[in-house]
Structure 1
Amino acid sequence: MTAAISLESISIVLVKTSHPGNVGSVARAMKTMGLSDLRLVEPKTTDICSADEAISLASGATDVLEKARIFNTLPDALADRSVAFALSARLRDLGPRLQSPQEAAQEALKLTESAVGAAFVFGAERTGLSNDELLVCNRQVTIAANPAYSSLNLSQAVQIVAYALRTEWAAGQFDLEEDSLAGTLAKGEKLATVKAVADLQAHWLQAMQAVDFINPDKPKKVVQRLARMLAKTPLEQEEVDMLRGFFSDVIRVVDDRLYPHEFERKKP
């Protein structure tokens, strides 16, 4: 392994967690495997990390709880992460290729070696991640379990992923393939963050609506197809900026907010 790789730089993101005990157990699962960056999105209470049950079940991992950060939205929590691995057993017609925890751990560590932020995202205890939350992420991870009863406790799921990260990190086998995302980044490209790509997707849909390409009330599968397309291709920040500039101009022209030279072209 190389000194550039640090498990502490990989984030664990919990979305809409309701039970303090689960947060404490997640903190313990993280610390035992060398992870420390815990992020919470819309927890049931803002003081969930300081609840007695959370502290008790953290069992000495209170430093992880104390450093945990709370965010209002999932894109905000991923604002400095370029790759987000969604943990979900829910299969999507138009989702990214499914990965095992071991495959995801390998990719996350390769990206970390290339100084790219990675996060693993877990949904609410009762419902898991919603379709909208899954669409924010650009990878999907499924834990192989008994198909007759595949329900895992939140902290158990985090422990499995954290263990996969730990074992892959200890093995230290991170060969970069030329055409892989990590291999591309090794050449110096600056990858757009998950939030930047989510904002691009929203802007793209806004432009589609502006030219009546889609009905916002009945977009069919355009949203899912667009999300899948953006997840397939790692975008550099400059590419995101270029596309958003184009969509801004599309919307501007549709709204008839023309520049002086464009008025001249409209004259009969």
Structure 2
Amino acid sequence: MPDLIVTGSLCTRCGACVATCPARIIELPKGVPRFTATGEARCIICGHCEAVCPTAALTVNDPRLDPTVPPPPEAPLPPEILDAYLRMRRSIRRFRTEAVPRKTIESLLDVVRYAPTSSNRQAVRWLVIHDTAEVRRLTGLVIDWFRSRLADPSCPNRTTLAAMIRSWNNGSDPICRNAPHLVIPCTPRQHSLAPFDATIAAAHLEIVAPAHGIGTCWGGYFQMAAEVWEPLRLALNLSDGYYPECALLLGYPATTYRRPPKRNRLDVTWR
């Protein structure tokens, strides 16, 4: 269970930790902040109390936590810079052949650890298919799934599936777009929001990657096959109880985008 450690000489009794705690399990008696009677058992280890403390008087300790914490930014990111960066986000479907170093991918995922998860469960695990030959082998299993679907006369999208099989047979890759790597967030699905946690984490990866010169694209067909095609599920060899929630193609872009494209007009309802 987590420990709430407070340095009394630093605590100003401002009450920010009490007001910020989403579980309402911190109280402020005459001394320093402490857990309520049931607080230790109910703490979700979100760290809000520690992060909001103006004097760094409070620390949450738990064996599951990484003790290293990055420093805060020196200044907030100007909104116009962030807005422009997000508008330039592109799905990359043409990749260079060289591999992205494992250390670089790991540094991206280290940032993505800070993506929100429901009740701060932090249950997302990552499967990185770094070996390009293995990416091709797994892609071939997706094509096998397409072939199995075409055997069913009632299969919808027969024309599309047949075209992608032909493309694969001709040496192209309509599934993973010849990306050198695949990154797959997985969850145990012990609660209904687990798939959303993985998708949010993948979205964070997609956003942070271009800042490091790396491109991504959502692998929809790969994910569809991973949900239902047993040979692919077995080949992924996931930990017991874990499921692939989505898939991102990843690599160095072979295309440079110069400006953001047009988008549909904003559609919003105010009440």
TM-score, normalised to structure 2, is 0.25
Q: Which is greater in Rg?
A: 2
More helix by share: 1
Give the TM-score normalised by structure 1.
0.25
